[in-house]
Structure 1
Amino acid sequence: MTNEARSQVNIKLISTIRPIDGESESQEMWLTGQLLEKAGSLYLKYEEVLDDKIIHTTMKLGNERALIMRAGAVNMRLPLNIMEQQTGHYDSEFGSMPLVIHTKNMTFSKQAVSGDFRVQYDLLMGGQSVGNYTLDITFTEVQ
């Protein structure tokens, strides 16, 4: 049997995209999810609804390495590593596209069942930069 701890959490997620050409765009979401601690790693799980379609997101959180996995209306694997570029993929109804992720900055702090995760990265598709992304996540235990 695996040793696993689960907590219900409220999540504030702010996503900012700065495309190479175009205006910066921010989106703020308030979600409910789960914080799981399993085998010494911390995972944040939540669901988003985008155009009436559900996206299941699981994030493995860390200070130097993290992983964002999305499944459902969007399928994506986005590994983040402050030490070196990573490769991931984005799948849609139009096919699979390889991604290159250059993580510029990542911080993670946790106190009991609350915490903050912030990452800033450049995303490249087909060898071309599509922009700079910032993800700010704050989570607190549901009371």
Structure 2
Amino acid sequence: MSKKVLIKLENKQDFSGKQPAVDIKHEFNGELYIKKEKYYLSYNDHSEGIDGARTILKIDPERERVLLLREEPAEMKQTFKKAEKIKGYFKTAYGKLELAVKTSDLKIDIEDNNGIIKIEYHLFLGGELSSNHKLKLSYSKEGIEN
């Protein structure tokens, strides 16, 4: 059974002085469901260039891992696990871009009606450090019209 939730996304992107840091904030109406002791957040992302692509976060509190899956037109797959560098990809109209993230910190504080996931990570493109990120995702049933 799924529940309607309001999802708030905040991401601070630091490009190590190559360009100014960027703060991104979005809100999405989405769904939360639980399957085999894992939490799933699902929403359509209307960020620039993503065109409403369905995004799913699979949150595994026991293994302290978060998997991000996004469908076309901005297909993406990336896993976040503290102290691990994990390969992923981002697919665009121009081709598939191989990437990797090294998660320096991951905090998962979730319940059935609300929760917060905080991920600090370093993004690598072509084996080189591209940017540092502080991502905060929160969800709650508050503010949702039934």
Q: TM-score, normalised by structure 2?
A: 0.88
Look up the match of 1:55: 53
Confirm whether residue 39 of structure 1 aligns to residue 36 of structure 2. yes
Confirm whether residue 99 of structure 1 aligns to residue 99 of structure 2. yes
Whether the 8 Å contact between 1:54 and 1:72 is mirrored in structure 2 is no
Range with greater deviation from structure 2 (47-56 or 92-101):
47-56
- Where structure 1 has 5 or more consecutive residues not aligned to the other structure, the ranges are none
Whether the 8 Å contact between 2:3 and 2:32 is mirrored in structure 1 is yes
Q: 2:11 aligns with which of 12, 15, 28?
A: 15
Secondary structure at 2:46 match in 1: strand
Q: After TM superposition, give the deviation of residue 79 of structure 1 in Å.
A: 0.8
- Where structure 2 has 5 or more consecutive residues not aligned to the other structure, the ranges are none
Higher percent of residues as strand: 1
Find the aligned partners of 1:111 and 1:95 in 2 and give their Cα distance.
38
Give 4+ residue runs of structure 1 displaced > 3 Å after superposition.
none
Q: Summarize deviations over 1:85-132 as a string: whole Å, max 9, x none.
A: 111111111111111110011111123311111101101010111101
Look up the match of 2:21: 24
Find the aligned partners of 1:123 and 1:113 in 2 and give their Cα distance.
31
**Aligned partner of 2:118: which letter?**
R
Secondary structure at 2:52 match in 1: strand
Look up the match of 2:72: 72
Q: After TM superposition, give the deviation of residue 51 of structure 1 in Å.
A: 4.3
Find the aligned partners of 2:48 and 2:125 in 1 and give their Cα distance.
24
Q: TM-score, normalised by structure 1?
A: 0.90
- Corresponding residue pairs, total: 139
Whether the 8 Å contact between 2:83 and 2:104 is mirrored in structure 1 is no
